[in-house]
Every structure is written in structure tokens, then in C-alpha cells.
Amino acid sequence: MSEPILDEQGAGVKNHKKLNLIITIISVVLPLVVALLFSVKIEVNFPFNVYWLPAINAILNGGTAILLVLALVAAKQHNVKLHSQMIYAAMGLSLLFLLVYVLYHVTTGHTKFGGEGTEKLIYLLLLFSHIALAAIQAPLVLFAFLYGYTGQVERHKRLVKFSYPVWLYVSVTGVICYFMIAPYYPA
């Protein structure tokens, strides 16, 4: 059996092998399922204009970005309770984003970007970097959360140096990509 992981005060923290396994499974399965769902098209007659869903996702992404900045400020001020609350809220918005994102894409497909030249190049660079980092975001965020939640503060801090900028970048570029493609959504 492995030794328990200790926090900075030397207090024992369980080695959460089951949680590590669950996060690993989610980290592998989630991007595969999302990619697979892009090949699925479900006909749904929504009682509202479905093209509002990307705007809702932009709001969710923007809200997540704001919460992440507030979480960082709280952490810098050593306000662990507020930091935790902001992270829980950001994770909730990110989960809601994922659900709305999948719902939108399995019911409508993709919208083609109509811009040209430099505008299109900028959009594609932002979009591809956004997608690539979103694919690796889940394990970074979930493991950082696990380490913080279980009192593994040093591991949490080390991972957050990578996970935080990725999560913030994905959130902000999601909003930017929305505003760039919004004029090309069908009415």
C-alpha cells in the first residue's frame, strides 16, 4: 500500500486512487465523446431560436473567465474559502457550457465562418488553439481541483501554473470566437 500524501502541516490526506482513476477516465473519454458527437445529427424542434445557444455559451465562457480572475485574486489574498467558491462556480459554468455546447452541435451542426483574409486566419488560429487546449483542459482542471480539495496544496499550486492559464485562455477565446462567427449564424 502506498504512503498517505501529507499536506504542508503534515496532516494525513488519503491517497485518492479512485478519484485519480475517475479523472483519468473522464480526461480520455470526454474529448472522444465530444468528437464522436460531432458526427451525430439529431432533429429537434426547439421552442426557441437555437442560434441563441452559442450566445449563451459565450456568456457562460465570459462568466467562467471572470470567476477565474476572482478566484486568483482570492488565492493571492489567501482567502481560501472565497477561492474555493469561485472555482466551484467556474466549474459549474464550464459544465453547463459543455452541456449547451454538445446540445447545440448535435442539433445544428457547424456554422461556416464567412470572413476572409487576415480575419479568417486570426479566427482559425484562435479556434484551433481554443479547441486543442479545451481538449487537454479537463485533466488539468480536474487534477488541480482534486489536489486543492484534498489539501495537497503544493501539488495544487504546481499544476495550477499550467491549468489556470489554459482554462482562462479557453474561456476568453471562446467568447472571442463567438463574436467573430456570430454574424454568420443563420437568422
Report the CATH number that the domain containing residue 83 is assigned in CATH: 1.20.120.80
CB 124 within 8 A of CB 173: no
Indicate the helix (H) or strand (E) that contains 5. strand 5-6
Position 8 scores a pLDDT of 47
Position 106 scores a pLDDT of 86
Q: Note whether residue 62 is domain-resident.
A: yes
Indicate the helix (H) or strand (E) that contains 13. strand 12-13
What is the residue-wise DSSP string for 46-115?
A: -SS-GGGHHHHHHHHHHHHHHHHHHHHHHHHTT-HHHHHHHHHHHHHHHHHHHHHHHHHHHHH--PPP--
Cα dihedral 46, 48, 52, 54, rounded to 10, equals -10
pTM of the predicted model as reported, rounded to 2 decimal places: 0.85
Q: Note whether residue 9 is domain-resident.
A: no
Q: Note whether residue 32 is domain-resident.
A: no
Position 11 scores a pLDDT of 43
Position 45 scores a pLDDT of 84
Cell (9 digits) for 109: 451542426
Position 5 scores a pLDDT of 44
Q: Note whether residue 37 is domain-resident.
A: no
- The domain of 177 spans 51-184
Going from the first residue of the chain to its last (187 residues), give the mean pLDDT of each consecutive group of 10, the final group possibly shorter.
42 66 89 82 84 94 98 97 97 95 86 92 96 93 93 94 97 97 86
Q: Note whether residue 124 is domain-resident.
A: yes
Position 83 scores a pLDDT of 97
Position 164 scores a pLDDT of 97
Q: Note whether residue 150 is domain-resident.
A: yes
The residue length of the chain stands at 187
- Round to the nearest angstrom and report the end-to-end CA distance of the chain: 60
Position 107 scores a pLDDT of 87
Q: Note whether residue 46 is domain-resident.
A: no
Q: How many beta carbons lie within 10 A of that of residue 186, not counting itself?
A: 8
Position 168 scores a pLDDT of 98
One-letter amino acid for residue 25 of the chain: I
Position 13 scores a pLDDT of 47
Q: Note whether residue 39 is domain-resident.
A: no
Q: Structural domain tally of the chain?
A: 1
